[in-house]
Amino acid sequence: MASYYIPIGLFLVIALLIVPCTMLIGKLFRPKRYDSAKLRPYECGLDIYEAPRGKVSVHFYVVAVVFLVFDVETVFLLPWAVTFDKLGLFGFIEVIVFLVLLVAAYAWVWAKGALRWEE
């Protein structure tokens, strides 16, 4: 029975050693001193001569996060659709509860104004 856990333990040890080992290798081989050209900010390989034009609205990020949340939640419908015939009535009721909660959350976000573009 213990032989089943050996691959899991080996995988855990390897996973815990990869990060410190790669950081140590990077510290050994990276340059120790940087010149001023390497420390200057740049964008797309070009030097920056002026300040940015303006602020980016945080609303863009709110819409992106809301999209990701609902997109990830709808991905949970795929396993349900694959095993729909095996789940029976219980599975159907569970997905109806899930969809009701999803639609309620979407309505709440809409009511809060997170999906409006005008400011």
Return the closest-CA partner of residue 67 out of 110, 111, 101, 96: 110
Helices (H), the chain: 6-29, 36-39, 58-75, 77-82, 84-112
Q: Mind listing the pLDDT tens digit for each residue in 4-27?
A: 899 999 999 999 999 999 999 999
Percent of the chain with pLDDT over 90: 23
pLDDT at 48: 67
Alpha carbon 65 to chain centroid distance? 9
Return the closest-CA partner of residue 49 out of 40, 57, 58, 39: 40
- The CATH classification number of 2-112 equals 1.20.58
pTM of full prediction above 0.75: no
Return the closest-CA partner of residue 114 out of 105, 1, 97, 85: 105
For residue 81 the two structure tokens come to 């659709």
Q: Mind listing the pLDDT tens digit for each residue in 38-50?
A: 777 766 666 667 6
Q: Mind listing the pLDDT tens digit for each residue in 50-92?
A: 666 777 677 778 888 888 888 888 888 888 888 888 888 988 8
